[in-house]
């Protein structure tokens, strides 16, 4: 069983997937943050490769991405960091990148080096399945799971296609829009998850807009994984003391998710 598959079977509750932007607020902080995320309950870590035009991301991650680029963070530096982290940690590591940086690096070269660094999967928000065949095949040759996204507006045909081709898990975008904390979860989220569940056998993980323990618990009752990003990036950029705040936030999310598994349905 792969590390990514095992992450969804080792806990009775939903998996907690934590995102950070590599190089924000600096590379040293990223190296420090990932073990903190894992020690406090994250099951999978998404390493965001900074890009100059992150269309699916809200202000928080856009600003973090721009700052990381100013810090000189490149895909090559992200690969180096993944290699360093893999030597320290055994949790699944997933790169989240827009397609352009991978295309410029060379997809075959990127997949080979990502696999060599111990990365387990790729999430590419701007790569739909009808354009992903070549990268999908390349990733598979190197043992990388290419994880596709679905949105509430996805057609039944798109859902079936992603259910057939996504590996590792399926990333469900909770809202039509960009990343970023929101006060409430969309009321149609249960119906959206149920639509995908009817077609898919892979774990379903929900991201975009999840920031509080209460929201994480609500998502955990619906899905197999809870993805939190912008809130964690905000904390990392908050200045001195971010380490303790990050640890506390992840620990609270983990506790809420675990508690949701024993809560009565309703």
Cα distance between residue 242 and residue 246, in whole Å: 6
- Contact between 240 and 28 under an 8 Å Cβ cutoff? The reply is no
**Distance between CA atoms of residues 83 and 99, nearest Å:** 21
pLDDT of residue 183: 65
H or E element at residue 191: helix 189-199
Candidates 171, 102, 170; CA nearest to 142 is 102
pLDDT in tens, the chain (266 residues): 788 988 998 878 999 999 999 999 999 999 999 999 999 999 999 999 999 887 766 788 999 999 999 999 999 999 999 999 999 999 999 999 999 999 999 999 999 999 999 999 999 999 999 999 999 999 999 999 999 999 999 999 999 999 999 999 999 998 765 454 556 788 999 999 999 999 999 999 999 889 999 999 999 999 999 999 999 999 999 999 999 999 999 999 999 999 997 654 44
CB 196 within 8 A of CB 166: no
Tell me the C-alpha distance between 131 and 128, whole Å.
6
Output the pLDDT for position 186.
84
* Catalytic residue, candidates 57, 120, 145, 224: 57
Which pLDDT score is estimated for 178? 47
Order of strands across the sheet that contains 170-173: 145-147, 121-123, 93-96, 44-48, 15-21, 225-228, 204-207, 170-173, 149-150
Query: Using the 8-state DSSP alphabet, how is residue 111 labeled?
Result: H
Residues 6+ apart with CB under 8 A from 79: 110, 113, 114, 117
Active-site residue, 120 included = no
Among this protein's residues, is 188 annotated catalytic?
Answer: no
Q: Which of 54, 49, 29 is nearest to 94 (CA)?
A: 49
pLDDT at 59: 85
Domains, the chain, with CATH or none: 3-260 (3.20.20.70)
CA distance 130 to 264: 40
Contact 40, 251 (CB under 8 A): yes
What was the pLDDT predicted at 265?
Answer: 45
Instruction: Please tell me which residue in 39, 43, 46, 214 is annotated as part of the active site.
Output: 46
Task: Find out whether 31 and 84 touch, Cβ atoms under 8 Å.
Answer: yes
The contacts of residue 229 (CB under 8 Å, 6+ apart) are: 18, 19, 20, 46, 48, 61, 179, 207
From 237, 197, 231, select the one nearest 211 (Cα to Cα): 231
């Amino acid at each position: 069983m792969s590390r990514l598959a095992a992450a969804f079977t080792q806990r009775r509750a939903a998996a907690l997937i934590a995102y950070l932007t590599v190089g924000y607020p600096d590379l040293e902080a990223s190296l420090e943050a990932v073990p903190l995320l894992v020690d406090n309950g994250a099951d999978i870590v998404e390493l965001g490769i900074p890009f100059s035009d992150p269309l699916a991301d809200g202000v928080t991650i856009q600003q973090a991405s721009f700052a990381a680029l100013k810090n000189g963070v490149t895909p090559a530096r992200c690969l180096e960091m993944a290699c360093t982290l893999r030597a320290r940690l055994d949790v699944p590591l997933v790169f989240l990148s827009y397609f352009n940086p991978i295309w410029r690096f060379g997809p075959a070269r990127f997949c080979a080096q990502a696999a060599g660094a111990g990365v387990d999967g790729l999430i590419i928000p701007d790569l739909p399945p009808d354009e992903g065949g070549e990268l999908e095949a390349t990733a598979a040759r190197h043992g990388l799971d290419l994880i596709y996204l679905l949105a509430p507006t996805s057609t039944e045909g798109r859902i079936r296609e992603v259910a057939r081709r996504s590996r590792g898990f399926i990333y469900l975008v909770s809202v039509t829009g960009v990343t970023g904390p929101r006060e409430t979860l969309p009321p149609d989220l249960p119906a959206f998850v149920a639509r995908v569940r009817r077609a898919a056998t892979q774990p379903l993980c929900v991201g975009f807009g999840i920031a509080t323990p209460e929201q994480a618990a609500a998502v955990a009752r619906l899905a197999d994984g809870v993805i939190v990003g912008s809130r964690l990036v905000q904390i990392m950029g908050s200045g001195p003391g971010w380490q303790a705040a990050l640890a506390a936030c992840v620990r609270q999310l983990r506790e809420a998710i675990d508690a949701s598994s024993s809560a009565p349905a309703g």
